[in-house]
Amino acid sequence: MSPPSVPPAGFPLRLLRFLVVGGGSAALQLGVLAWLQGWLAPVVAFTVSYALSTLAHYLANRFWALPSARRDTGRQALEYLGAVGLSYAINLGAFQLAQHTFGLGVFWAAFWAIPPATAVVFLVLNFRVFRSA
């Protein structure tokens, strides 16, 4: 018996769902970061919060926001990890730029690091990793 198929959602619905997932993931990341920043170095706290929010992001995108017709789940997972690496590099670079160049605190630097990575990652996930057809 095959698993039930998810009807393909159109691009606007996929984008809306991705943004909902991204907002929830960002809230999780910023909440964990706010909690950890008093105990850990800024980059360590950022990395831990990023890892937890990335796990939530993957699960919500894979099973709800960007349902995919692909059956090569191993390759898909590797591609997702590549997107995560790209996202982390963009996030960390923007985080450090915001901290060191603009003098923002840890929380606000992390907040402003999210949008540029979000734009790039949506395109990669929607059109490659979790493509609908």
Task: Give mean pLDDT, residues 3-11.
Answer: 55
**Residue 62 has what DSSP assignment?**
I
Give the per-residue pLDDT at 93. Answer: 95
Tens digits of residue pLDDT in 28-67: 999 999 999 999 999 899 899 989 998 898 889 888 998 8
**What is the rounded radius of gyration, in angstroms, for the C-alpha atoms of the chain?**
16
pLDDT reading at 109 higher than 50:
yes
Instruction: Report pLDDT for 14.
Output: 86
Give the CA angle between residues 72, 75, 78 to the nearest 5°: 145
Does residue 100 have a pLDDT over 90?
yes
- pLDDT, tens only, 66-95: 888 788 888 988 999 999 999 989 999 999
